Protein backbone atom coordinates (compact mmCIF):
# COMPACT_ATOMS: atom_id res chain seq x y z
CA UNK A 1 0.00 0.00 0.00
CA UNK A 2 1.36 3.39 -0.92
CA UNK A 3 0.49 6.42 1.23
CA UNK A 4 1.52 10.06 1.19
CA UNK A 5 3.51 11.77 3.93
CA UNK A 6 1.34 14.56 5.30
CA UNK A 7 1.88 17.60 7.51
CA UNK A 8 0.65 17.15 11.11
CA UNK A 9 1.28 20.38 13.01
CA UNK A 10 5.03 21.03 12.94
CA UNK A 11 5.71 17.37 12.11
CA UNK A 12 5.00 15.02 9.25
CA UNK A 13 3.33 11.63 9.35
CA UNK A 14 1.27 9.03 7.58
CA UNK A 15 -2.34 7.94 7.99
CA UNK A 16 -2.80 4.25 8.65
CA UNK A 17 -6.29 3.06 7.73
CA UNK A 18 -8.35 1.96 10.74
CA UNK A 19 -9.12 -1.33 9.01
CA UNK A 20 -5.40 -2.19 8.91
CA UNK A 21 -4.91 -1.35 12.58
CA UNK A 22 -7.96 -3.42 13.52
CA UNK A 23 -6.77 -6.33 11.37
CA UNK A 24 -3.39 -6.29 13.15
CA UNK A 25 -4.79 -5.48 16.61
CA UNK A 26 -2.35 -2.63 17.05
CA UNK A 27 -2.94 0.19 19.55
CA UNK A 28 0.63 1.38 20.10
CA UNK A 29 3.83 0.92 18.08
CA UNK A 30 7.60 1.00 18.40
CA UNK A 31 9.39 2.84 15.60
CA UNK A 32 12.76 1.50 14.47
CA UNK A 33 15.07 3.04 11.90
CA UNK A 34 17.69 1.02 10.01
CA UNK A 35 19.41 3.19 7.43
CA UNK A 36 16.62 4.51 5.24
CA UNK A 37 14.06 1.91 6.36
CA UNK A 38 11.42 2.77 8.98
CA UNK A 39 9.74 -0.18 10.69
CA UNK A 40 6.63 -0.06 12.86
CA UNK A 41 6.20 -2.95 15.31
CA UNK A 42 3.39 -3.46 17.81
CA UNK A 43 4.13 -2.89 21.48
CA UNK A 44 3.57 -6.21 23.19
CA UNK A 45 2.71 -6.53 26.86
CA UNK A 46 4.65 -9.34 28.58
CA UNK A 47 2.59 -12.54 28.67
CA UNK A 48 -0.08 -10.93 26.48
CA UNK A 49 -2.44 -13.61 25.21
CA UNK A 50 -1.23 -16.28 27.64
CA UNK A 51 -4.58 -16.58 29.42
CA UNK A 52 -6.40 -17.25 26.14
CA UNK A 53 -3.73 -19.77 25.12
CA UNK A 54 -4.01 -21.63 28.44
CA UNK A 55 -7.81 -21.68 28.16
CA UNK A 56 -7.58 -23.06 24.65
CA UNK A 57 -5.16 -25.76 25.82
CA UNK A 58 -7.37 -26.59 28.82
CA UNK A 59 -4.61 -25.65 31.24
CA UNK A 60 -6.15 -22.65 33.01
CA UNK A 61 -6.68 -23.27 36.72
CA UNK A 62 -8.94 -20.83 38.52
CA UNK A 63 -8.30 -20.12 42.19
Residue 33 placed within a domain = yes
**Euclidean distance between CA atoms 5 and 8, whole angstroms:** 9
The CA R_g of the chain, rounded to the nearest whole Å, is 17
- Banded pLDDT at 60 (limits 50, 70, 90): low
Print the domain residue range for 11. Answer: 6-57
Q: How confident is the model at residue 62 (pLDDT cuts 50, 70, 90)?
A: low
CATH number at residue 23: 2.10.260
Whether pLDDT at 6 is above 70: yes
> What's the whole-model pTM score?
0.57
Amino acid sequence: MEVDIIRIGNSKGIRIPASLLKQCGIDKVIIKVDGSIITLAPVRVPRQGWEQAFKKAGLLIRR
